[in-house]
Amino acid sequence: MANQYDPEQHPKVAEFVKLRAAIADEAVRELFPFRFLAVNETFGRLVDATAYNIIDAIGAVPPANGITVHQAKKDLSIPWRRTVTLKFLYEKLSDSGILEREDGRYYLGDARPGDWDTIAAELAEREPGAAVANDILKTLVDNAKIFFAGEATGDEILFAPQQLPLWLKYFSNDNLLYSINNLVGAEALARLVPPDGGPFEVLEIGGGCGSGAEQNLRRLGAGITRYRFTEVAETFARHGEKAARSAAAPSTVVESARLDMNQSWAAQGVEPGTFDAVYSVNCFHVAPDLDFVINEAAKALKPGGAVIVSECIRPTKLARPIHAEIIFDHLDSFTDVATDPVKRPTHGFLTPAAWRATFQAAGLADVTVLPDVDEIAEKYPDFVVGAVVAKRS
């Protein structure tokens, strides 16, 4: 069936034009077509509707005189760990104008969330591969009461065995909402490959279901001579290894290993100074001790090598929620991390400034962000995708 949605007729097409014009690098600009920008905007509206439906389900919609997070926690007997998620929901709805915030109190605003079913149907028809997000967000709404009552953790809800098919679809190159990170990361990696076809060895950390490896190996082919795919979760690792091997050129040596990034990498078979690139997509931000992980990554590099981190990136000047955080703020592994006023001011996705400070503290002083998320966000605040490249001298 033909897609009835023409992204170039989108109500925000003028904003999309400004965004694309702000991306100076032509190769990177082409990774962000109107098609992606349109589906990302639809997903953002669906997140707002989901956030509202969740607070409605647990009785946390602000009354006429407003409410604070602390008061909602007390009134609804919400466990303290769940207040992180509740705060995100209030902040996200406030950012969208559905709620208003004054002196720490939240009130109903003038805007109203769209109808969840209508937006979900739009997302599914606009981009069928991204429709898996509907199922994941509906899972959050359906389980809101038990989550905020402390009867089940986010991991138990989202990563129950029967949910595995959802995540295989979500962490896929068929899901444009996720694959954009793989595309940007692969572009950053491609720029490091020796033009003379010399040895180029890559270590991927937290490879998940393998969509990042698949993108890299299909794009770069024989340009990668050795690719070491690692993942700590056994269920994901089996799928990831298969995807990597299927995508690799015949001349590429593909290795697979279980690796916990939070433990010594050398003790898990990663010899120091042996890789041209350490690569990771949407993984490092969950490290309880990010300094440890970045230092381990730096040790694994050959002289002149680089760490590439492709993630959602929070614009430095805009302290605002990111759409995808509604899912991951339900997970303790996402929120329970060590913070630092400069290197990691908050849990979750980092800013370009925080990434630079973190890499520089590990001795990786040559840091670039592809594209310049901070500059682009000045014209389009919802731009939150980029790859951070930090080179070893």
271-282 pLDDT per residue, tens: 999 999 999 999
- pLDDT given at position 3: 59
In a domain, 80, yes or no: yes
User: Which of 170, 200, 220 is the C-terminal boundary of a domain?
Assistant: 170
Same domain (yes/no): 266, 359 = yes
In a domain, 331, yes or no: yes
Q: Check: CB of residue 43 under 8 Å from CB of residue 323.
A: yes
Pairing type for strands 253-257 and 385-391 reads unpaired
- pLDDT given at position 327: 95
Residue-wise pLDDT tens digits, 4-48: 677 777 888 888 888 899 999 999 999 999 999 999 999 999 999
Against a cut of 0.75, is the pTM above it?
Answer: yes
In a domain, 246, yes or no: yes
User: Which of 170, 201, 236 is the C-terminal boundary of a domain?
Assistant: 170
Residue-wise pLDDT tens digits, 299-352: 999 999 999 999 999 998 877 889 989 999 999 989 999 999 999 999 999 999
What is the rounded CA–CA span in Å between residue 74 and residue 97?
A: 25
Domains held by the chain: number: 2
Same domain (yes/no): 117, 187 = no
Same domain (yes/no): 145, 214 = no
Same domain (yes/no): 137, 192 = no
Residue-wise pLDDT tens digits, 87-110: 999 999 999 999 999 999 999 999
171-182: average pLDDT: 96
Pairing type for strands 366-370 and 253-257 reads unpaired
Same domain (yes/no): 336, 266 = yes
User: Which of 105, 138, 170 is the C-terminal boundary of a domain?
Assistant: 170
In a domain, 1, yes or no: no
Same domain (yes/no): 198, 289 = yes
Residue-wise pLDDT tens digits, 68-92: 999 999 999 999 999 999 999 999 9
Residue-wise pLDDT tens digits, 193-242: 998 888 999 999 999 999 999 999 999 999 999 999 999 999 899 999 99
Angle at CA of residue 40, ends 37 and 41, nearest 5°: 85
Same domain (yes/no): 202, 155 = no
In a domain, 5, yes or no: no
What CATH number did the domain enclosing 325 receive?
A: 3.40.50.150
In a domain, 2, yes or no: no
Same domain (yes/no): 181, 104 = no
Handedness of CA 230, 282, 371, 177 (dihedral sign): positive
- pLDDT given at position 2: 44
In a domain, 277, yes or no: yes
Does residue 1 surpass a pLDDT of 70? no
In a domain, 6, yes or no: no
Does residue 152 surpass a pLDDT of 90? yes
Same domain (yes/no): 37, 121 = yes
- pLDDT given at position 30: 95
Same domain (yes/no): 156, 214 = no
User: Where in the sequence is the domain holding 339, given as residue range(s)?
Assistant: 176-391
| Encoded tokens for 328 | 């991951």
- pLDDT given at position 380: 85
* Closest of 370, 384, 248 to residue 309, by C-alpha: 370
Residue-wise pLDDT tens digits, 51-65: 999 999 999 999 999
* Closest of 307, 330, 334 to residue 189, by C-alpha: 307
Same domain (yes/no): 53, 166 = yes
- Exposed/middle/buried for residue 221 (C-beta within 10 Å: 0-12, 13-18, 19+): middle
Residue 205, SS3? coil
β-strand partners of 344: 340
| Encoded tokens for 131 | 């429709």
Same domain (yes/no): 193, 224 = yes
